[in-house]
Every structure is written in C-alpha cells, then in structure tokens.
Amino acid sequence: MNFPGLGILGVLAFVVALLFSVMVHEAGHYLTAKKFHMRVTEFFLGFGTRLWSFQRGETEFGIKAIPAGGYCRISGMSVNEELPEADKHRAFYLASVPKRLIVLGAGSFLHFVLGFLILVILFAGVGVTAVTKTIDQVVPCVSNSSSGISDSSCTATSIPTPAKAAGLLAGDEVISINGKESDNWVDYTTIIRESARKEVIIAVMRNGERLLIPVTPAARTLNGKEIGYLGIINKLGNKKENPIKAVSSSVRITGDLLQNSVTSLFALPTKIPALVRQTFGNEERDAQGLVGVVGVARVSAQTASEPSLESREKIATFLIIIASLNIFVGVFNLLPLLPLDGGHMAVAIVDGIRRFNAKRRKLSPPPAIDVEKLLPITLAVFALLAVLSLLLLAADIFNPINIYQ
C-alpha cells in the first residue's frame, strides 16, 4: 500500500533538513569571520533571484530562488577584490593563516557537530531498535546440521536445546546471569558465549516472580572457536539511552561515519563505472553505491510512506539519514580541491609556508596567492563535480535505489 501524502512529507522534511544544514555550515563561516573582524557582506540560502532579504549592519541576509545550497560572502577572498579604504585591513587574505583555516574549516566542523547532536537526539530521545532481555521464543531442539545452530525441526532423536531443557519460557525476562545485571543484552550474550559446557545461573522474572534457573550452554564452533549457546530468540524493542550513554554512543557512531565517509571518497573513482552501467544499462542499482541528493530525498520519501515501519522507526531512519549526510558533506568539503573549502585551506597553508620560508631567510613577506590565477583548476574541478552530479541525477531518476523491496 502506498501513501503519497506521507512520501511528499518525507521529501519536504528532507529539503528543510538539508537547507538547515546549509545554514549551519554558512553560519560557521559567518560567525568565525565576524569573530576575526572580517567583512561579511552577504549571507544567503539558495542561489539566483533574490526572494527576500534584510540588512543587519554591513551584512545582507536573505533567501534566493534556487534552493541548491547557500553562501557567505567574505570580502577579500581574492587579492584583486576592491574594498572600501576603511575596510582594506579586514580583507580575508590579509588575516593570519590560523585565522583563515578556522574560518574555512568552521563550516565542516559544524556539520560534524550537527551530525553528532542529531545522533544524541536519536539515542536519548527517539530510541533505536534493539534486542530486549525478554525471551520471545525458546527453540525446542538442536539442529542436525553441521553448523549446530538451533532450529525448530525436531525428530525423535533430536537433542533439546539448553534453554528448553532448563525450562526457560517465552515471556521470561532475564534480569541477571551469574549475578551480573545489565541493561544491554549484548553483555549477556558475551557471558553465554564464554560459558560453553559451563553452568550459569540465569535469574528471570516470570509472572511477577523471580526465578533462578541453572543452564549449561551447549557448544558449537564458529570461525574455528567454540562458543556457548542457549537456543533462545529475544524480542526486539525500542531502546532509549540515558544522556551520558547517548553521548558515548553518538561519539562512537560519529567516528564510524567519519571513517566510512573518508573510505567512500577514496573509493569514489572506482564506483563511477558501475554507476554508469546502472544508469544506462540494465544493471540493478547498488544500494551501497553512489547516490545523489535526489536519491536521498527519494529514500526519505520511501521511509515516510513505508507501511511496515512504525512512526518511531521512520523518525529514527530519517535522523540517521540526516546525520550521515552532514558527516559526509563535512568531509567532502575538506577535500583539497578548489572551489571547496578544503581547496581554499590548501591555498592558505601554502601561503603560510611561503611566509615562513621568507621570514626564515629574512626576506620580505611574499604577496598572498591570487586564487583567481587558479581559476582553470577551479573550473576543471567544478566541471567534474557537475558531470558527477548530472550522472547521479540521471541514476536517481531512471534507476532509483529502493531500500524497501
């Protein structure tokens, strides 16, 4: 069953979240530039025709017609830019290298902060689907397969699983194992796996009564190592974490997303041929491959209209999408390629090295690098990004990713 209204709502939510991320990015540039007394003349969301604006001090804030990004115009990005005589000393290129790097990197830094805060909201406020401590099913017997994994296909010669033999029942809530209590089922899984052929005491709540049940986990071999197992399947449920644990989890996931983003960027050239085949050939679209803004918006719409998901799961999925997008965009912007922030940071670093060498040799400071002379490189990078964007747009329209088959 399809819910087009919810799908549209998902797209709108994604667009709003994307524009908010752009605003946060540009706010990073704006706030740090003003902190260092640089001249900022414009702060706009979108490009093209001006739809609405207002003036505050020397800066014009507003919205333009094409919601494809935004910009913060800092005076003096080029040595050739003319500034009013009273503001020439505030030119960006005259600032120290550390200040220039802070201003340029502030946008990506706030992307990382925003992604992290979204994850904190996810873990502490919305919650994530996790294995609970309540038993959903007790598998009756051990499989005769070579894997030794429990299943429900019992014969006259089948061996009962340890859980079945010990009398564990569906609905039992595990509250401790060997006297150790935990809110995380993974901790109990670790104890069970390390207790093959060794008796453990499992405390459960059953109909309001606390019971102590001795169980001896059976042994099976996994990846050449003997581990214990009981033969139970636990219920899935929503799990919210306390603020401290939520921060810890968010730090870990943010680190994972940063690492994955860097890995994806390094692997990007190798994925383009497959994307071309998937766009213009008959290959199925790789859900783990490249995806553009339109593709992410479609996934957001699919998530919002997917009837098998609860509202909480839809919100959680949406938050993960936006957090991941912010982390990736933050990393992407740090690539040392003009016109990206990372490209301007590379220019600032080279400028600093030239100044340092001149000072060491007791020479006059060299003039700042004229980024306009690097225009051919900027245009080449821009052309490559435009081609990739068009390719992703075509792929997202003609062969979109569908994560809910």
231 with 320, same domain: the answer is no
Residue 252 belongs to some domain of the structure? no
Query: What string of pLDDT tens digits covers the 405 residues of the chain?
Result: 444 666 788 888 888 999 999 999 999 999 999 999 999 999 999 999 999 999 999 999 999 998 888 999 999 998 988 899 999 999 999 999 999 999 999 999 999 999 999 999 999 999 988 888 999 999 988 765 544 444 556 776 778 899 999 999 999 999 999 999 998 888 999 999 999 999 999 999 999 999 999 999 998 887 778 899 899 999 888 888 899 999 999 999 999 999 999 998 998 888 888 888 888 877 778 767 778 888 888 888 888 887 777 888 889 989 999 999 999 999 999 999 988 999 999 999 999 999 999 989 988 888 888 888 888 888 898 898 888 888 888 888 888 877 655
pLDDT at site 146: 43
**Co-location of 210 and 155 in the same domain:** yes
Q: Give domain status of residue 260, yes or no.
A: no
Total count of domains within the chain:
2
Residue 211 lies in a domain: yes
Tokens 């550390």, residue located = 98
Same domain, 116 and 98: yes
Write the CATH number for 168.
Answer: 2.30.42.10
pLDDT of residue 165: 92
Residue 164 belongs to what domain range? 129-239
The kind and range of the H/E element at 218 are: strand 218-222
Task: Out of 194, 223, 239, pick the residue that ends a domain.
Answer: 239
187 domain-assigned: yes
User: Does residue 284 belong to any structural domain of this protein?
Assistant: no
Q: Quickly list H helices, 2-96.
A: 4-35
Q: Are the CB atoms for 216 and 165 separated by under 8 Å?
A: no
60 is catalytic: no
Residues 119 and 150 in one domain: no
Instruction: Assess whether 381 and 306 both reside in one domain.
Output: yes
Give the domain-ending residue among 224, 239, 254: 239
> Does residue 232 share a domain with residue 120?
no
Contacts with 70 (C-beta within 8 Å, 6 or more apart), sequence order: 19, 22, 23, 25, 26, 43, 44, 45, 46, 47
Helices assigned H by DSSP within 281-310? 293-305
134 with 213, same domain? yes
Report the relative pairing of strands 225-229 and 218-222 from DSSP bridges: antiparallel
Residues 114 and 13 placed together within one structural domain of the fold: yes
If asked whether residues 157 and 214 sit together in one domain, one would say: yes
* pLDDT value of position 10: 84
What's the pLDDT at 254? Answer: 96
Q: Which of 392, 366, 148, 195 is closest to 275 using CA atoms? A: 392
Single out the residue in 218, 239, 260 at which a domain terminates: 239
179/110 same-domain check: no
Residue 168 lies in a domain: yes
Q: Do 15 and 114 have their domain in common?
A: yes
Q: Among the options 26, 42, 241, 306, which is catalytic? A: 26
Closest CA to 296 of 35, 13, 28, 48: 13
Q: What are phi and psi of 146, to 5 degrees?
A: -65, -20
pLDDT number for residue 52: 95
* Residue 290 within any structural domain of the chain: no
How many beta carbons lie within 10 A of that of residue 189, not counting itself?
17
Considering the domain architecture, whether residues 102 and 164 belong to the same structural domain is answered as no
The answer to whether residue 282 is domain-embedded is no
